[in-house]
């Protein structure tokens, strides 16, 4: 969340920046400042009351020692009143602080100055495109038809077991999934990311730490009996590894990668754009997370973009990069680049990765700090990216690599798969 001090010092700049998200945040920001002023005033009254009570307690002790019990008992009545006042002020302070925190949670991150204004994904800015779109035969099939033809993904069987959006991968389809996961993890490890295995369920504190709660509560599967949430992405448990930590500057950069299944209760819709692997409730993803010194975070973001580019070049998939506009930007992000692969059989772009810098927004929720050269605690910057999400990468491979003989496997994946064609 945004820092209170920043809101105090840069109120107008924040309100202006949030207009890029098509949000008039003036009432929220003013409400935060009013509650903050009330909180600080109440804290001062409480501190003064406690100080007076402590002072009187010392005086009472001295009076009893001096044999002045009557005077001491008179003062004790006053300290009783002060204790009641302190209790009332403490409860009031807690209520104000809770209301303040609730308002702060409602304010999204302020977009970076480079984020273009806009309302929808149509306003996103294409900044890079690479790769040749293959020319397919006129009878080329979309991936859901290919999956059925070669018996590698069974969507109906997933419906039988669980419901729509939970496919079953079979035979070479399952092996290709495993190959992609291993390849992505190896590429990330070669780039300096430490591989982690993390829980697939998180507690409420973790959800608040990275910003999935309260903003995306309805999109997460909630295990009510234990008050735990199935993760929507490895970003949540991996970033929370450092919650409540104080780092040294020498610890930077911290780079983690993790493979996890991801679970999302996205509202269902119909049509070809959500068929097959295009939108799922459970899918596999390999994530990269970085924690950086604030002076280095945008350099790190550029490095993450180049890293994902390298993977897509290896896979020889045509792709483009979009800088998201304010209206399409995630709640916690200051700047996001989306990668999209071109699905030739569907004749459309499919999002396969988002790479984002959250600046101090998550770190402030996580209480993730570092000691600067003067020994003062500062908030770190957090970043994350998909490297990569499997469903649409797999869809792109199946569709773009289809031939009359079968589906060829990208050369870089053959050692991981143990076969070079699905036929």
| φ, ψ at 150 (rounded to 5°) | -100, 5
Beta-carbon count within 10 A of 89 CB: 19
Taking each continuous run of H as one helix and of E as one strand, the counts in the chain are 13, 18
Task: Tell me if 40 is assigned to a ligand binding site.
Answer: no
- Please report which helix (H) or strand (E) contains residue 124, including its range: none
What is the DSSP annotation of 144-167? HHHHHHTT-EEHHHHHHHT-TT--
Task: Tell me if 275 is assigned to a ligand binding site.
Answer: no
Task: Tell me if 374 is assigned to a ligand binding site.
Answer: no
Instruction: Sort 85 into a burial class: Cβ within 10 Å, 0-12 / 13-18 / 19+.
Output: middle
Whole-angstrom distance, CA of residue 108 vs CA of residue 256: 25
Task: Tell me if 156 is assigned to a ligand binding site.
Answer: no
| Non-local CB neighbours of 264 within 8 Å, separated by 6+ positions | 219, 220, 232, 280, 281
| Residue among 349, 330, 329 at smallest CA distance from 339 | 349
Q: Which residue has the tokens 């608040």?
A: 208
Task: Tell me if 353 is assigned to a ligand binding site.
Answer: yes
Task: Tell me if 352 is assigned to a ligand binding site.
Answer: yes
What residues does 321 pair with on adjacent strands?
128, 339
Task: Tell me if 265 is assigned to a ligand binding site.
Answer: yes
Task: Tell me if 287 is assigned to a ligand binding site.
Answer: yes
| Residue among 90, 87, 96 at smallest CA distance from 39 | 96
Both tokens assigned to 202: 């998180």
Both tokens assigned to 324: 């998201």
Annotated binding site for L-serine: 233, 264, 287, 384
Annotated binding site for ATP: 264-266, 351-354
Annotated binding site: 233, 264-266, 287, 351-354, 384
């Amino acid at each position: 969340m945004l820092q209170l001090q920043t809101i105090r010092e840069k109120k107008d700049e924040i309100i202006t920046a949030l207009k890029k998200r098509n949000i008039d945040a003036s009432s929220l920001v003013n409400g935060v400042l009013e509650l903050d002023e009330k909180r600080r005033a109440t804290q001062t009254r409480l501190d003064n009351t406690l100080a007076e009570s402590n002072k009187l307690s010392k005086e009472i002790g001295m009076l009893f020692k001096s044999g002045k019990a009557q005077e001491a008992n008179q003062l004790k009545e006053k300290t009783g009143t002060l204790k009641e006042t302190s209790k009332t002020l403490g409860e009031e302070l807690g209520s104000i602080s809770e209301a303040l925190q609730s308002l702060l949670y409602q304010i999204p991150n302020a977009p970076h100055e480079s984020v273009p204004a806009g309302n929808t994904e149509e306003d996103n800015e294409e900044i890079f495109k690479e790769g040749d779109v293959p020319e397919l035969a006129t009878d080329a099939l979309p991936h859901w038809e290919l999956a059925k033809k070669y018996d590698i993904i069974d969507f109906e069987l997933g419906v039988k077991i669980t419901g729509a959006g939970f496919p079953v991968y079979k035979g070479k389809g399952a092996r290709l999934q495993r190959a992609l996961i291993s390849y992505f993890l190896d590429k990330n490890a070669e780039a300096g990311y430490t591989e982690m295995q993390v829980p697939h369920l998180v507690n409420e504190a973790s959800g608040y730490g990275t910003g999935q709660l309260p903003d995306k509560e309805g999109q997460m599967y909630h295990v009510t009996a234990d008050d735990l949430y199935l993760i929507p992405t490895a970003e949540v448990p991996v970033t929370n590894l450092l919650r409540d930590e104080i780092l040294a500057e020498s610890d930077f950069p911290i780079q983690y990668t993790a493979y996890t299944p991801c679970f999302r209760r996205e509202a269902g819709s119909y049509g070809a754009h959500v068929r097959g692997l295009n939108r799922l409730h459970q899918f596999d993803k390999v994530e990269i997370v970085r924690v950086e010194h604030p002076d280095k975070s945008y350099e790190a973001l550029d490095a993450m973009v180049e890293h994902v580019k390298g993977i897509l070049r290896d896979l020889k998939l045509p792709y483009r990069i979009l800088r998201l506009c304010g209206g399409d930007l995630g709640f916690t992000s200051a700047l996001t680049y989306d990668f999209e692969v071109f699905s030739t059989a569907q004749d459309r772009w499919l999002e396969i990765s988002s790479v984002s810098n959250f600046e101090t927004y998550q770190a402030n929720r996580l209480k993730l700090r570092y000691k600067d050269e003067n020994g003062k605690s500062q908030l770190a910057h957090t970043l994350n990216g998909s490297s990569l999400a499997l469903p649409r990468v797999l869809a792109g491979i199946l569709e773009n690599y289809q031939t009359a003989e079968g589906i060829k496997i990208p050369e870089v994946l053959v050692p991981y798969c143990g076969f070079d064609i699905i036929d």
